[in-house]
């Protein structure tokens, strides 16, 4: 099995790159209208889950799928703060749509960073014109769910066999970057897979109450074409992209938390006399949103200052604090609003279900402990 080497990056003066116009910024002006339309359909998608085709058609029309395709000189199309704001906006409209969208942007960045030419340019051009919907599928099945995905050689080239789970966007994507086993023991490889054939989606596997329209199903591969194996084994963990993937996820959390916060504050504002306890809950919700804003702005500043700097440690701290703020918003909103919003349904109920499932997909405690251990060891050095 052969693997590709990351394409060489153009030599760009960082100051010039920051000063250059960023054509993707115009997309953000239309994304707000698209997000408003997507939000109007969120409740129906939650009731009748399926791939959110109309929502993604609207994102395509707005140019959001190609938002981060780099320019011909390799420069970013939009600043980090604008990209993460777009992710947050889409997730606020519908957490399930946002989950698929942030995975799409993760895949676009990895494709730009590591795909061989001419595949890289051809696929990015297709993304830019809205003809490609991408994802990143990394979760392995349990033993009873099937054999983990592996890249195999066939007479027609490389192909994918086996199973992945929690494959967000399954059934509606054109391509996926799939974490798979290679020829030899060691870290998994990152396979860029054509999903047009050799793929079976098990829609009965995902039965969760939250993120229902994210279509995060079990997928079985049977000879799906591998268009390229990107980079080297362990490619998914390469910096600075690995940490930036995680920050996009946190931006999605933030968007769902925005929905929960707005719903809770609207309910509290509708009460005849808020009283001290509801007012305290509202104040805590406002403060928690400020924490989320501050962390995302801080991370964007650091990434703009040095786009090549490692981001894993930053992403761990950011996700820990954003997750904490999200849980505070959910808890304060639920206790202040009482049971009625969860009995009758609505945006607060949906946001809570979505966010609780989404947060549980990321086990942060071991990562936070590792960060703390490194900080302790640093201080012990002579």
Assigned token pair, 253: 């959390």
For 137-234, the fitting CATH number among 3.90.1150.10, 3.50.50.60, 2.40.50.140, 2.40.110.10 is 2.40.110.10
Q: CB of 139 within 8 A of CB of 103?
A: no
The CATH code for residues 239-377 is 1.20.140.10
Assigned token pair, 193: 């897979």
CA dihedral of 200, 204, 208, 212, whole degrees rounded to 10: 60
CA distance 51 to 213: 6
Residues 6+ apart with CB under 8 A from 203: 170, 171, 215, 217
Residue 1: per-residue pLDDT = 55
pLDDT digits (tens, 9 = 90+) for 171-216: 999 999 999 998 878 899 999 999 999 999 999 999 999 999 999 9
- Percentage of the chain with pLDDT > 70? 93
Segments making up each domain of the chain, as ranges: 14-133, 137-234, 239-377
Residue 25: per-residue pLDDT = 58
Q: CB of 316 within 8 A of CB of 367?
A: yes
| pLDDT grade for 24, boundaries at 50, 70 and 90 | low
Assigned token pair, 303: 């990434």
* Model confidence pTM above 0.85: yes
CA distance 192 to 184: 18
pLDDT digits (tens, 9 = 90+) for 146-163: 999 999 999 989 999 999
Residues 6+ apart with CB under 8 A from 130: 60, 61, 63, 65, 66
- What is the 8-class DSSP label of residue 166? E
| pLDDT grade for 274, boundaries at 50, 70 and 90 | low
pLDDT digits (tens, 9 = 90+) for 322-345: 999 999 999 999 988 888 888 888
Q: Look at residue 15 and tell me whether its pLDDT is greater than 50.
A: no
Q: Could you give the angle at the alpha carbon of 216 between the alpha carbons of 212 and 222, nearest 5°?
A: 145
Residue 380: per-residue pLDDT = 84
The CATH code for residues 14-133 is 1.10.540.10
Mean pLDDT of 37-66: 95
Residues 6+ apart with CB under 8 A from 366: none
Q: CB of 238 within 8 A of CB of 109?
A: no
Of 122, 117, 119, 91, residue with least CA distance to 105: 91
| pLDDT grade for 54, boundaries at 50, 70 and 90 | very high
Q: CB of 182 within 8 A of CB of 152?
A: no
Lowest-confidence region among 127-131, 321-325, 344-348: 344-348
């Amino acid at each position: 099995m052969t693997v590709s080497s990351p394409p060489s990056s153009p030599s760009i003066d960082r100051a010039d790159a920051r000063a250059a116009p960023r054509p993707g910024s115009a997309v953000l002006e239309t994304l707000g209208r698209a997000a408003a339309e997507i939000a109007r359909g969120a409740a129906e998608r939650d009731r009748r889950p399926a791939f959110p085709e109309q929502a993604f058609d609207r994102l395509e029309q707005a140019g959001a799928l190609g938002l981060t395709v780099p320019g011909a000189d390799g420069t970013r199309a939009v600043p980090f703060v604008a990209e993460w704001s777009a992710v947050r906006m889409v997730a606020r409209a519908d957490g399930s749509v946002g989950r698929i969208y942030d995975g799409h942007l993760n895949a676009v960045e990895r494709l730009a960073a590591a795909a061989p030419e001419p595949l890289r340019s051809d696929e990015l051009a297709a993304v830019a014109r809205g003809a490609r919907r991408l994802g990143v599928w990394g979760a392995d099945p349990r033993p009873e769910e099937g054999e983990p995905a592996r890249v195999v050689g066939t007479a027609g080239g490389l192909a994918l066999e086996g199973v992945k789970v929690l494959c967000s966007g399954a059934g509606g994507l054109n391509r996926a970057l799939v974490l798979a086993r290679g020829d030899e023991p060691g870290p998994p490889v990152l396979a860029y897979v054509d999903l047009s054939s050799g793929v079976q989606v098990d829609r009965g596997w995902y039965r969760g109450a939250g993120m229902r329209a994210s279509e995060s199903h079990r997928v079985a591969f049977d000879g799906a074409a591998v268009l390229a194996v990107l980079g080297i084994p362990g490619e998914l963990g390469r910096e600075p992209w690995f940490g930036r993937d995680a920050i996009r996820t946190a931006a999605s959390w933030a968007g769902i938390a925005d929905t929960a916060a707005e719903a809770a504050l609207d309910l509290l504002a509708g009460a005849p006399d808020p009283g001290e306890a509801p007012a305290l809950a509202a104040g805590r919700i406002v403060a928690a949103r400020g924490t989320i804003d501050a962390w995302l702005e801080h991370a964007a500043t650091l990434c703009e200052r040095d786009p090549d700097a490692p981001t894993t440690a930053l992403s761990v701290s950011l996700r820990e604090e954003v997750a904490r703020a999200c849980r505070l918003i959910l808890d304060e909103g639920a206790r202040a609003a009482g049971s009625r919003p969860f009995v009758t349904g609505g945006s607060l109920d949906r946001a809570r279900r979505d966010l609780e499932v989404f947060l549980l997909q990321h086990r942060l405690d071991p990562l936070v402990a590792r960060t703390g251990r490194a900080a302790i060891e640093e201080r012990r050095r002579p």
